A and B are shown apart, each in its own frame.
Chain A
Amino acid sequence: DIQMTQSPSTLSASVGDRVTITCRASQSISSWLAWYQQKPGKAPKVLIYRASSLESGVPSRFSGSGSGTEFTLTIRSLQPDDFATYYCQQYSSYSWTFGQGTKVEIK
Chain B
Amino acid sequence: QVQLQQWGVGLLKPSETLSLTCAVYGGSFTDFYWNWIRQPPGKGLEWIGEIHHSGRINYNPSLKSRVTMSVDTSKNQFSLKLRSVTAADTAVYYCARGDLLYPFDYWGQGTLVTVSS
Query: Residues of A at under 8 Å CB distance from B?
Result: 1, 32, 34, 36, 43-46, 49, 55, 87, 89, 91, 94-101
Contacts and interface: CB of A to CB of B under 8 A. Distances in A.
B34 interface: no
Interface of B: 44-47, 58-61, 94, 96, 98, 100-105, 107-110
- Which secondary structure characterizes the binding site on chain B? strand
B103 A94 contact: no
- Which secondary structure characterizes the binding site on chain A? loop
Contacts of A94: 58
Given A43-B110, A95-B47, A34 B94 contact: no
B62 to A, nearest CB: 8
A97 to B, nearest CB: 7
A87 B103 contact: no
